Amino acid sequence: MTKILFQTFICCLLCAALHAQKADTLEEIKVHDRRAVSADARINDFSSGQKIKSIDSTTLAQYRMQSMAGLLAQQTPVFVKSYGFNGLATLNFRGSSAAQSAVIWNGIPIQNAALGIADVSTLPVFFMNKVNIVYGGSSAMWGSGNVGGALVMENEVPVFDSSRRAISSGAGAGSFSQSMGSFRGSISGRRWYCSASIFAQMAQNDFSYINDAGVSAHMPNSRLESVAALLHAAYKIDAQNTISLTAWYQQYNRQIPPELQEPYSVKQQQDGSLRLLADWQRTLATGKLYAKASLVRDEQRYDDSAILLHMHNAVYQYYQECGWKKRWGASDQLLVFVPVQLSWLQPSRAMPHAEQRKVALAAAYSKNLWNRLEVTLNARGESITPPGGNTLSIGYLLPGAGVAYRLADWLTLRANAQKTYRAPTLNELYYFPGGNSSLKPEQGWSEDAGYTLKSGHGRFTFYHDLSVFTRDIHDWIIWIGGAIWTPHNIAEVHSRGVETENYITFKAGPVKLHLGLNTAYVLATTASSYIYNDGSVGKQIPYTPRYNGQLNAGLTWGRFSVNYNHTYTGYRFTTSDESYYMQPYQTGNIQLSYSHVLRKDLWHLIMQCNNIWNERYQVVAFRPMPGINWLAGLGVDIGAWAQ
């Protein structure tokens, strides 16, 4: 029934688009173009019909001392599955698993190739200039692993300006002995650009919590030390050609605190990541050519001396992409690109030999009609070697299409349908013991439709966006087992739901008030299963809240801004048959920022108070989260005001 309703809705959208072509009177000419929210053409020019949420620069600045996990959990309907204050945090888009959520940095995937997931608690917001959330799968554009959505992060685009010098630094401190420092400097000439960013933090994270015996205690074994550095150099060869090199290294050393049922923990984890990216771009009169190559090395050490467990693995991922973008007139664009991805593991006892190769040809065509209708068609043919443990390559065709129609200046309708898939990861295929080399990729279709309503009246502005989505994934991979866990293709999962994004602003003299509300209603249920007498059929998949929402209310007054953020996360089932569940939780968070010019320097003061209602909650069962806590930072952009 849901499918029929959805198809009817799509038909209505298309009928509305056709009906609009019959207008025969001259209308006022207005030029509409989308604001470039990304340097990635896949987002800017070939995402018609997809919901994309751009995190604005003010919000990014407010969270510059935090990780992506904190930003996304408080500001987006994406469910961030956090294993405690000092633990792994993964993404759940619209009921997808962590491995079905792509994380893209400057156009390259950075999920750990062995695990297929990215720990967003180790991605510092400070490094990113643009952050976009792409909702829904689009494997044609983003490749394997983009089933539920994608987190797309970008660094600053090089600016070739000989008068530009920028230095900014900051330091912060907070509860639980948190301290952090940051530095960013950039210098450029007419032909070259260099920037360096460093972010370091330490924390004891010894917050108080109620332990298993009902007694208040301080969280033991939860120290964090991390340092991250990002270097970026670019050279403008001539007016058309630019090359750039980016290196991002980070090291996170974390103690893993005990779960509530554990009497103690001596677990430690060290994550080191090196990401190198070389990029060439050639600007053409009607488009551009580009090529990029990257090497990502993720190393992880895990030690639990209590059970004599010592693990060390290093996984490499080479990714290259060559592409050509062409524009014809003002309405037609074509993007053709060839991504190649090689993943392999440093041989170890757990995985003596494991590699995977993916080669694809992808294309997207976008057409703008009557300055109202945007249509995008895209497709990817991808070959994986060796899928399923044999040496023969298997090909997959991943088509997709999207349409957006501006029905009125204040109302835009959109819809899209995409084939989506996720290839099994190296761990799923080869981990010893338990890997299953006969796994098939998860695949299915993802469809969504919605509208955006934008209006302004005097001092009011109003924004409302609604998305309805549905997705069927076959051969869903789940790890199961008693002594030895093994992944199996065991289920078909149907996800569907409604998301809204709403805000209003009101200007009263120098004061701008804002009120925003994001809501998400997600049903992600097992549609069918190979398991005998499976009790999970028809039940919500674990750790997918049906309801979650975020409210933001605040004001900006000159260089002062204050925001109250309130989040609600509904019941999460922790078993596949809904027999166990976790209570909903709400958190209240306040962000304050103030900028002040002193001589030629711009000073920023940021203060945050998180969980101000001191809610006792857990995101993942038996992993308590901290109560009320604060964070304060002071930063300066040297000479920024003069420039």
Q: Which of 251, 486, 505, 528 binds another protein (CB under 8 A)?
A: 486
CA distance 553 to 591: 10
Secondary element (H or E) of residue 146 = none
Q: Is 9 in the site for another protein (CB under 8 A)?
A: no
- The stretch among 4-12, 38-46, 85-93, 453-461 that binds another protein (CB under 8 A) is 453-461
Q: Is 388 in the site for another protein (CB under 8 A)?
A: no
Q: Is 573 in the site for another protein (CB under 8 A)?
A: yes
Within 10 Å of residue 552's Cβ, how many Cβ atoms? 20
Q: Is 462 in the site for another protein (CB under 8 A)?
A: yes
Contacts of 542 (CB under 8 A, 6+ apart): 572, 573, 574, 575, 576
Q: Which of 24, 484, 509, 598 binds another protein (CB under 8 A)?
A: 484
Q: Do the beta carbons of residue 133 and residue 149 sit within 8 Å?
A: yes
Least distance in Å: CB of 1 to another protein?
15
**Can you list the positions of beta strands (E) in 481-622?**
486-508, 511-529, 547-557, 560-569, 572-573, 581-582, 585-598, 601-610
Q: Is 4 in the site for another protein (CB under 8 A)?
A: no
Structure tokens of 8?
A: 């009817």
Least distance in Å: CB of 356 to another protein?
21
What is the dihedral sign for C-alpha 219, 221, 222, 224?
positive
Residues between 109 and 128 that touch another protein (CB under 8 A): none
Contacts of 222 (CB under 8 A, 6+ apart): 84, 85, 86, 204, 205, 206, 255, 256, 257
Q: Is 576 in the site for another protein (CB under 8 A)?
A: yes
CB nearer to another protein: give 184 or 572: 572
CA distance 181 to 122: 15
Least distance in Å: CB of 26 to another protein?
22
CB nearer to another protein: give 517 or 636: 517
Least distance in Å: CB of 371 to another protein?
20
Q: Is 453 in the site for another protein (CB under 8 A)?
A: yes
CA distance 15 to 8: 10
CA distance 493 to 542: 12
Least distance in Å: CB of 25 to another protein?
21
Q: Is 211 in the site for another protein (CB under 8 A)?
A: no
Residues between 414 and 443 that touch another protein (CB under 8 A): 433-434, 436
Q: Which of 177, 410, 538, 613 binds another protein (CB under 8 A)?
A: 410
CB nearer to another protein: give 71 or 582: 582
DSSP lists the bridge partners of residue 550 as: 518, 567
Q: Is 534 in the site for another protein (CB under 8 A)?
A: yes
The 242-261 site mask, x for binding another protein (CB under 8 A), equals -----------------xxx
The 586-625 site mask, x for binding another protein (CB under 8 A), equals -----------------------------------xx---
Q: Is 212 in the site for another protein (CB under 8 A)?
A: yes
Integer-rounded Cα Rg, in Å, for the chain is 24
Least distance in Å: CB of 192 to another protein?
49
Q: Is 2 in the site for another protein (CB under 8 A)?
A: no
- The stretch among 16-24, 109-117, 223-231, 519-527 that binds another protein (CB under 8 A) is 519-527
Q: Is 236 in the site for another protein (CB under 8 A)?
A: no
CB nearer to another protein: give 299 or 578: 578
Dihedral pair phi/psi, residue 470, rounded to 5°: -150, 145
Dihedral pair phi/psi, residue 506, rounded to 5°: -140, 130
Which residue is it, tokens 């249920």? 525
CB nearer to another protein: give 517 or 634: 517
Task: Indicate the pairing of strand 52-55 with strand 629-638.
Answer: unpaired
CA distance 294 to 369: 37
Q: Is 579 in the site for another protein (CB under 8 A)?
A: yes
Q: Do the beta carbons of residue 415 and residue 6 sit within 8 Å?
A: no
CB nearer to another protein: give 161 or 212: 212
Q: Which of 21, 179, 286, 575 binds another protein (CB under 8 A)?
A: 575
Burial environment of residue 369 by CB neighbours within 10 A (0 to 12, 13 to 18, 19 or more): middle
Q: Is 77 in the site for another protein (CB under 8 A)?
A: no
Secondary element (H or E) of residue 188 = strand 178-188
Structure tokens of 192?
A: 């070259």
Q: Which of 167, 217, 276, 498 binds another protein (CB under 8 A)?
A: 498
CA distance 145 to 425: 9
CA distance 99 to 536: 20
CB nearer to another protein: give 264 or 328: 264
Closest to 585 measured CA to CA, from 628, 546, 616: 616
Burial environment of residue 252 by CB neighbours within 10 A (0 to 12, 13 to 18, 19 or more): buried
Q: Is 584 in the site for another protein (CB under 8 A)?
A: yes
CB nearer to another protein: give 190 or 454: 454
Q: Is 574 in the site for another protein (CB under 8 A)?
A: yes
- The stretch among 145-153, 197-205, 380-388, 534-542 that binds another protein (CB under 8 A) is 534-542
Angle at 464 between CA 461 and CA 465, to 5 degrees: 145
Q: Which of 546, 559, 592, 605 binds another protein (CB under 8 A)?
A: 546
Q: Is 533 in the site for another protein (CB under 8 A)?
A: yes
Alpha carbons within 13 A on the beta-carbon side of 354 = 29
Q: Is 552 in the site for another protein (CB under 8 A)?
A: no
Q: Is 395 in the site for another protein (CB under 8 A)?
A: no
Least distance in Å: CB of 589 to another protein?
23
Q: Which of 183, 521, 594, 641 binds another protein (CB under 8 A)?
A: 521
Q: Which residues of the shown chain bind another protein in the complex (CB under 8 A)?
A: 212, 259-263, 306-309, 410, 433-434, 436, 451, 453, 455, 457, 460, 462, 464, 466, 478, 480-486, 488, 490, 498, 500, 502, 519, 521, 523, 530-536, 542, 546-547, 570-571, 573-581, 584, 621-622
